[in-house]
Amino acid sequence: MTTLEITARGYMGEQDLPTIVELLSRCAQASPFGEGTTADELRMEFSLPRFDPVRHLRLWEDADSQLIGFGQLWIHEDAVEPDSFLWYRVRPDLCDGDLDELIIAWGEEQTRTIVQERGVQLRLRTTTITTELERIAVLEHNGFGIDRYFQRMVCPLGALIIEPQLPAGFTLATGPHDRDTWAGLFNESFIDHWNHLPLSGAEVAHRKSIPAHRPDLDLVAYAPDGTPAAFCLGMFDSVENARSGRNEGTIALLGTRRGFRKRGLGRALLLSNMLALKAAGADAAALGVDTDSPTGATRLYESIGFRTVLTRILYGRSVER
């Protein structure tokens, strides 16, 4: 059991960013595929249109005012299955579960307040990977059950990449793209995906404002009549690569609009982005995929050479009023 004197407080703005970055970097270093962050990325996240940093951020400190825990709550009431997603981290040496319990209790309390205020039903969700046995035990002890599995897949870029072949008459364009057009393409491409959450043009512009976004990795395929038909958004984060030593690019999103599927557009855009990532200096490409994706995305990725390196579990539990 933790014997630390633990206190919780709200987010105090810019002055908290360095200590949050330090904690998250420390947690990332303790995980084989942990991902750190920067102050710029946190600034972007905390200023997203749907996010309230006053209510949806919490910091836990020890008696010496050292940050030992961090919680972030995302409310998705417009999703197909509305939920409240709790993303949190605990200092790696505090693995007995006590601080996890405090953070989960905060997430549940905040979720219940929102349920009561807005009259919506939200499912509290959080995530872990299959090797985090202590965290899994805490979540299951607190009534969480498995809602979904997601895989992280990686493909080396050193070998010869297959030449992309767009269907006849289709053209490929790099960014920047009109934010509202891109948002519409994203929403119509992902409408069949589990728990789809629509994005607005303003949210798209905000999310693409981070330094890791590059127009040459922001690809859209257009049909012969000019209709945006498919897209592939890549990222190449030199700061994260310097921290992790992995030198990876990321296929952040890949989607094809209804009516244009089963024509090879997804494969062509994925290969095009892999070539662009290789040209940018990446040694490998990584991506995440829903293991039960209705589009058969996993088969596509495996056919090109992606292999699973870890499995992430999405846990959920109901929150009563």
Residue pLDDT, tens place only, 124-150:
999 999 999 999 999 999 999 999 999
Of 292, 275, 173, nearest in space to 228 by CA: 173
| pLDDT on residue 240 | 84
Which pLDDT belongs to residue 225?
A: 98
Whether residues 109 and 173 share a domain: the answer is no
Are 160 and 126 contained in the same domain? no
CA 182 to CA 313: how far, in whole Å?
29
Has residue 1 got a pLDDT over 60? no
What confidence tier does 306 reach under pLDDT thresholds 50, 70, 90?
very high
The pLDDT assigned to 210 comes to 83
Identify the domain boundary among 104, 122, 143. 143
- What is the tally of structural domains in the chain? 2
How far apart CA 308 and CA 287 sit, in angstroms, is: 10
CA distance 112 to 77: 13
Assess if residue 2 is contained within a domain.
no
Quickly count helices (H) and strands (E) in the chain.
10, 12
Nearest Cα to 62, choosing from 18, 106, 93?
A: 93
Sequence-distant (6+) residues with CB within 8 A of 53 are 11, 46, 47
Work out whether strand 83-90 and strand 67-76 pair parallel, antiparallel, or are unpaired: antiparallel
AA identity, residue 312: R
- Mean pLDDT value across the chain: 94
Q: What percent of the chain has pLDDT over 90?
A: 82
Query: Which pLDDT score is estimated for 196?
Result: 92
Write the pLDDT tens digit of every residue in 164-213.
Answer: 999 999 999 999 999 999 999 999 999 999 999 999 999 999 989 888 89
Domain limit, last residue, from 143, 172, 200: 143
Dihedrals φ, ψ of 271, to 5°?
-65, -40
Query: Tell me: the pLDDT tens digits for 34-81?
Result: 788 888 889 989 998 889 999 999 999 999 999 999 999 999 998 889
In a shared domain, residues 163 and 139: no
β-bridge mates for residue 84, sequence order: 75, 124
In a domain, 1, yes or no: no
Q: What is the extent of the structural domain holding 114?
A: 7-143
CA pair distance 24, 85, nearest whole angstrom:
18
Count CB-CB contacts under 10 A for residue 92. 14
Question: Of how many residues is the chain composed?
Answer: 321
Residues 208 and 128 in one domain: no
Strands 57-61 and 307-318: unpaired
Please indicate, yes or no, whether residues 166 and 303 belong to a single structural domain of this protein.
yes
pLDDT value at residue 321 = 76
Do 194 and 296 belong to one domain? yes
How many CB atoms lie under 10 A from the CB of residue 149?
14
Do 169 and 304 belong together in one domain?
yes
| Residue 225 shares a structural domain with residue 129 | no
Q: What is the mean pLDDT of residues 97-108?
A: 96
Can you give the pTM of this predicted structure? Answer: 0.91
pLDDT score recorded for residue 162: 92
What pLDDT score was predicted for residue 2?
A: 55
pLDDT > 80? residue 3: no
Give the model's pLDDT for residue 202: 93
Last residue of a domain, one of 103, 120, 143: 143
Do 297 and 163 have their domain in common? Answer: yes
Q: What CATH number is attached to the domain comprising 60?
A: 3.40.630.30
Whether residue 20 is contained in a domain is answered as: yes
- C-alpha 237/C-alpha 34 separation (Å) is 14
3-state secondary structure of 255: strand
Of the pLDDT bands very low, low, confident and very high (cuts 50, 70, 90), residue 160 is confident
Compute the average pLDDT of residues 271-294: 95
